[in-house]
Amino acid sequence: MALIEKKGTGWAALQIKKPSAGSWTEAYPELGTEPISYEDSISPEFLEAERQAIFKRCWVNVGRVEQVPKAGSYFTKELAVVNTSIIVVRGADQKIRAFHNICRHRGNKLVWTDYPDREDRGTCRQFACKYHGWRYALDGKLVFIQQEGEFFGIDKERYGLVEVNLDVWEGFIFVNLSPTPAQPLREFLGEMASGIEGYPFHKLTQAFRYRSEIKANWKLCQDAFQEFYHAPVLHKKQMPTPEMGQALSEAGYQGIHYEVFGPHRMVSSTGLVRAPRDADPAKPIDRLTRSGLHGPWDQLSGGTAELPRGINPTKSPLWGLDSFQFFPNFVILIWKANWYLTYHYWPLTPHSHVFETTLYFPPPKNAAERLAQETAAVTFKEYGFQDSNTLEATQSMLQSRVVDKFPLCDQEVLCRHLHKVVQDWVKAYHA
Amino acid sequence: MPDKPILLPAEFADLEPFAADWALRRERERYAKRLSSSMEQMQAFYDAAFPRAAAAIQYLNQFDLDKLPEPAQNLLFLLYSLVTVSFPVEVWKQPHVPDAGASYLDLVDEPVP
């Protein structure tokens, strides 16, 4: 992921122009350049504050419309960070709604199979509680009470499921746990979202969904995936040849473009710079399946001739991917070869979170396209392992509080921004 | 030995000795098989399957993915396993990802085939 190009028989570093302020970081003076504290990633009190100030007030992405393809399709989402579970369901009227996953009778979790704490999905006509058989329509209305005559003047109208605010942007389903969201979804997503509208998300429906529990604060994981300064070092051994790994780590990493949009942020990056015709940088399996860490080599079908203006915003010929970080915990990463992935970071405790990644490709036309996807997915997992284990190592030492300030370089500007925005939201809420 | 032999298309019958172990439907099974295999076992599978893989892809390309005959589907699963063992064989020289400790990343939802 670093910037090198083949020069003669070796590799040479490429140069990128920074903003006139002198650096990406100084282009946003409010971010400062001082070393930062990670107290916000180890303190139990701070996580409590984040629940109230951020996760109970922000629009958060919980999935895509393809997960509820027809009337009665539903999935549940565990939202431990706000102490609830929700049901997302497409109604008979085709409208997608979200409800707290709780029966109005005696509070049983309404939808689950085998294990109450695991996420569930399926298709149904009504939701029936396992406990006493109360039933709810897809629009949340209570439609059946077992032995209704035994109750005391009960009015079914008053015992429908508790609805959660829901809205959809570009096929992404967002919910807001506040009964009265401060902003509509589209306004919250802001200008960064405008720039990528029109990308063919709805055509890239072939999904590989990964889940992991990582023993590190949710922001540390987000940091790991919003800077690529680490890539030439941590992933040096994955390079196809030792010479290339060495050249990459010596050249280091330079982002093509960084930009901040209110609470949201993005980085535009090169892919691994290599000519596909140049066989030596690729592993045998990559050459066989024409794929690798950066996804399939061949432009995938079902794309769009012209990318929306926010993608590869500098129109760099070196461009390989853009990572769009929507506050608080949702990332869309778009690759040049017409596929994308998402990250979600769901806090569990100050020292742990659920990390979800979904890779989205066009439905493959044949076995060759399907195998290229398999190589991309398998390779993603190989790298993901190294990242997540490194995070656990970081978390454990941050908790020692032996050191309280850490310097961030210019390629880590987005980490600086995330921590500042989180702290600003917490401060504003408690002000 | 499984109750029923795992069949591959006749053209790829030479790979059948590996089918029972490696023609696995789910990523979870393939990954578990990788972790429980020795490098010698994976190298043997890789050395046999890799030279045949390009021909196998070409063979499979003639079918609609959703209508693959069972032997062809087994062959595709075998190729998925080839991808699964490629990092241990080509890069790590060990079954586990180095420095990955007890971390895990479960594929909870995947396209089949």
Q: How far is B98 from chain A (nearest CA, A)?
A: 7
Q: Are residues A211 and A355 in the same domain?
A: yes
Query: Quick one: DSSP state of residue B73?
Result: H
Same domain, yes or no: A408 and A310: yes
Task: Report d(CA A30, CA A431) in Å as an integer.
Answer: 19
Substitution target in B12, B74, B97, B112 with the highest count of A β-carbons within 10 Å is B97
Same domain, A215 and A177: no
If you ran DSSP here, which 8-state letter would residue B88 be given? I
Average pLDDT value for chain B: 93
Do the Cβ atoms of A289 and A374 come closer than 8 Å? yes
The reply to whether B87 falls in a domain is yes
Query: Pairing mode, if any, of strands A264-270 and A257-261?
Result: antiparallel
Determine, yes or no, domain membership for B52. Answer: yes
| pLDDT computed for residue A275 by the predictor | 36
**Six-digit token string for A12:** 């040479």
Nearest-by-Cβ selection for A206 from B53, B60, B111: B111
> Which residue would you say has higher pLDDT here, A301 or B40?
B40
Q: Which two tokens stand for residue A376?
A: 């991309």
Domain boundary among A148, A181, A214: A181
Residues A416 and A363 in one domain: yes
Q: In what order do the strands lie in the sheet with A142-144?
A: A126-128, A135-137, A142-144
Q: Work out the angle between the directed axes of helices A367-398 and A218-226 (0-180°, nearest 10).
A: 130
Closest listed residue to residue B81, CA positions, set B112, B113, B111, B45: B45
- Which one of A215, A389, A391, A395 makes the best mutation probe of the B interface by having the most chain B beta carbons within 10 Å? A389
Residue A177 and residue A232 in one domain = no
ipTM of the complex: 0.96
Nearest to B57 among A206, A358, A368 (CB): A368
Q: At A24, which helix (H) or strand (E)?
A: none
**Domains identified in chain A, total number:** 2
Residue-number span of the structural domain to which A144 is assigned = 61-181
Structure token digits, residue A107: 């509070």
CATH of the domain at A372: 3.90.380.10
Instruction: With CB atoms and an 8 Å threshold, state whether A389 touches B101.
Output: yes
A130, A221: one domain: no
pLDDT for the residue A279: 42
| Together in a domain, A152 and A266 | no
Same domain, A232 and A337: yes
User: Mind telling me how many Å the CA of A285 is from chain B's nearest CA?
Assistant: 6
- Per residue in B76-106, pLDDT tens? 999 999 999 999 999 999 999 888 877 888 9
Q: Given the structure tokens 């990242």, which residue do they identify?
A: A387
B104·A212 Cβ contact <8 A? yes
C-alpha closest to that of A414 among A264, A253, A312: A264
CB contact under 8 A, A385 and B84: no
For residue A280, the chain B residues in CB contact (below 8 A) are none
pLDDT in tens, chain A (431 residues): 345 666 666 656 666 889 999 999 999 999 999 999 999 999 999 999 999 999 999 999 999 999 999 999 999 999 999 999 999 999 999 999 999 999 999 999 999 999 999 999 999 999 999 999 999 999 999 999 999 999 999 999 999 999 999 999 999 999 999 999 999 999 999 999 999 999 999 999 999 999 999 999 999 999 988 888 877 776 666 566 677 667 767 777 889 999 999 999 999 998 754 433 444 468 999 999 999 888 888 876 655 568 899 999 999 888 889 999 999 999 999 998 889 999 999 999 999 999 999 999 999 999 999 999 999 999 999 888 777 778 888 999 999 999 999 999 999 999 999 999 999 999 999 88
Closest CA to B110 of B80, B68, B75: B80
Whether A192 is in a domain gets the answer no
Task: State the DSSP H helix or E strand holding residue B2, giving kind and residue range, or none if neither.
Answer: none
Q: When comparing pLDDT for B111 and A294, which is higher?
A: B111
Shared domain check, A299 and A380: yes
Name the residue with tokens 């991309």.
A376
A contacts of B79 (beta carbons < 8 Å):
367, 371, 374
- Rounded to a whole number of angstroms, the distance from the CA of A8 to the nearest CA of chain B is 25
pLDDT value, residue A7: 62
**Residue A183: per-residue pLDDT:** 97
Range of the domain at B28: 10-92
pTM above 0.80, yes or no: yes
Name every residue whose Cβ is closer than 8 Å to that of residue B110 and which is 6 or more positions away in sequence. A208, A209, A377, B26, B27
Which helix (H) or strand (E) segment holds residue A319: the answer is strand A319-326
Whole-number Å distance between alpha carbons of A8 and A359: 36
> C-alpha A188: how far from its chain's center?
17
A369 assigned to some structural domain: yes
Mutation target among B52, B105, B106, B112 for the A interface, most CBs of A within 10 A: B105
- The string over B54-85, giving b where at least 16 C-beta atoms fall within 10 Å of a residue's C-beta and e elsewhere, is eebbebbeeeebeebeebbbbbbbbbbbbbbb
**Looking at the domain assignment, is residue A55 inside a domain?**
no
**Residue B98 covered by a domain:** no
Of B60, B84, B100, the CB nearest to A385: B100
Question: A115: which chain B residues are within 8 Å (Cβ-Cβ)?
Answer: none
Q: Are A108 and A241 contained in the same domain?
A: no
Q: Is there a contact between A392 and B103 if contact means CB atoms under 8 Å apart? A: yes
Number of domains in chain B: 1
